Amino acid sequence: MEEVIVAPREIREALPRARFLNEEEQARYEEAVKRFNSKKARDNLSVPRNGSNIFKVSLLNHIGIPTATLQELDLIAREVPEFLEGHYEDAPAVILASSGDSYGSNDYVAKSLAGLIGRESFSNPVIVEGIVPEDDDSSFYGLRFGKGEKFRVIEAPDFSHRNNGRRFSRINPDYSIEFEDKGSRTLYTRDNGLSGLYLYRDLYLFAIDGVLDNSYANGRVVVMKTGEAGSQNLLNDYIKTLLNDYIKTLKEKED
């Protein structure tokens, strides 16, 4: 038998888990799509279970189905790459590099989002989390982005177009990127406008696609499950105990 992790069941339950969207969650999503007024909006949100775009993942989060953040996708790509390889996976966030877009289809949505965050000029791109798709007949997609409960704007200088094509090893919680010439993955960015953020089938990071409603059969939505607060506290206590035992062992060896 291979090695096993010896820990209480409550500890194992507290660990985060990733899986693909299931049929029940897809059904909840499809019900939520029916609430949109225009046919154009509903068409761009009508994405099957094997498919994904930024509108879909942002709506899923809004209705209480948490999808993997970019950092969580990056962690999976580093630790269990075979889980993601061969598909693409959208993060529930967008990157905005200017208050307009050279893609006509995106220009209105980019301007709307820039107005929402109160930005007219950009020295660096920003990443916007916690967005929610809303009806808007003026939009090419019939949709724009509004503020959700966890709306947040983060400066993201490492996503500048000057880093387009650079190799990297990881994405940090603050969206800084650890670039390495020998990194196994590549970052692709635009020099203007609004784009989604996703890992492609080779686990490269794309912040370059200006077509927000694209969805293909090889798309997958990654759903994250984390333990309850009590389990998380138990996990933290367990980790502290292990660290204290380790420090105690080191001190005993020194003595």
For the cut 50, the answer to whether the pLDDT of residue 3 exceeds it is no
4 — pLDDT class (breaks 50, 70, 90): very low
The kind and range of the H/E element at 19 are: strand 17-20
Task: Find out whether 34 and 131 touch, Cβ atoms under 8 Å.
Answer: no
Q: Give strand ranges (E) for the chain.
A: 17-20, 89-96, 126-135, 143-155, 167-171, 177-179, 185-189, 194-199, 205-207, 222-225
Q: What is the pLDDT of residue 2?
A: 47
Q: What is the pLDDT of residue 74?
A: 95
Q: What is the pTM of this model?
A: 0.84
Q: What is the pLDDT of residues 148-196, one digit of tens each?
A: 999 999 999 999 999 999 999 999 999 999 999 999 999 999 999 999 9
